Amino acid sequence: MPTVVPSPVLSEVVLDIQKLDLVRDGKLLLDEVSMTVRAGEHWALLGPNGAGKSTLLSVLGAYTHPTRGTAEILGHRLGRVNVQDLRMRIGHVNPRHPLQSARTVLEVVLTGVTGTIELVPRWTPTDGQRSRAAELIELMGLTDRAAARWPELSQGERGRALIARALMPEPDLLLLDEPATGLDLVARERLLSRLDALRRRHPALTSVLVTHHLEELPATTTHALLLRRGAVLTAGPAPATLTTGLISACFDHPITITRANGRWSAASTPEPPLQD
């Protein structure tokens, strides 16, 4: 097993991205992106399709290296650290999890220990690892589905199982790539309530969530970064960032933003009636 570097203390910098460019096939995908994220903060990355959100998340997860600029993740600069060691401290939740076999929820969560898609042959989890898996399954509201197999699960149940899987190695950073994709209203609300509960129970955990729907943001979101055409439009505390003016500019369309009970919603601003 690789050696895991020490965990950060609360309030220190977890992500320090400075003037980051990413070029692929001659196309500038990220343009001088900068962001600083501290322990215990919960960031949202928002922007229209093609803005670069998932691309930036791939850099934050130590899967993609920048073309220019610097990316320091958990105190280690990409290009100067063993990324396999670093990724052990990052929980990355991808709703397109490429599992092919009919594993149970418990088995899927336990693969978070080994960092593999399938269970490792002849590997046996410890009692402590099984106990932690059960605790995380309970936290995600899946105790009664622990023995259910992957093909039997709804999209929402799969998403919550993958979050539990990502939390198995007790990561310092949790990355969520559009976790509410494909969920109906009830499944989305269950997911968001579980994310809020997770954040309250683990105050030192830091997270970054990608979405292009404000309704998919948990109430515990603390900060937001708006991406437009690969560049940062603005970034900072969520209440000052998720505003009617800034969201309208980001999506290049008049949008009215409201907030109630800690949750945001967006609606197209009505156009004035045509005059005869």
Instruction: Tell me what percent of the residues of the chain surpass a pLDDT of 90.
Output: 78
Average pLDDT over residues 205-227: 95
Q: What is the DSSP letter of 1?
A: -
Answer with the residue of higher pLDDT: 31 or 95: 31
- Integer Cα distance of 177 and 45 in angstroms: 9
- pLDDT digit string, tens, across residues 137-183: 999 999 999 999 999 999 899 999 999 999 999 999 999 999 998 88
Stretch 123-136: mean pLDDT, rounded? 94
Q: 23 has which bridge partners?
A: 28
Place of tokens 């500019």: 249
- CATH code for the domain defined by 1-89+171-240: 3.40.50.300
pLDDT of 271: 66
> Smallest Cα–Cα separation from 10: which of 37, 28, 43, 48?
37
Region 236-254 average pLDDT? 96
Q: What is the DSSP letter of 149?
A: B
Domain boundaries, the chain: 1-89+171-240, 101-170
How far apart CA 152 and CA 168 sit, in angstroms, is 22
Indicate the SS3 state at residue 204. Answer: coil
Q: How far apart, in whole angstroms, are the C-alpha atoms of residue 146 and residue 133?
A: 10
User: pLDDT digits over 45-71, tens only?
Assistant: 999 999 999 999 999 999 999 999 999
Q: What is the pLDDT of residue 135?
A: 93
Q: What are the pLDDT digits (tens) for 62-116?
A: 999 999 999 999 999 998 999 988 998 999 998 788 888 899 999 999 999 988 8
Tokens, residue 67:
């073309």
Indicate whether 7 pLDDT > 60.
Answer: no
Alpha-carbon distance of 145 to 104, in angstroms, equals 9
pLDDT bin (cut points 50, 70, 90) of residue 4 is very low
CA distance 45 to 59: 13
What pLDDT does 11 receive? 53
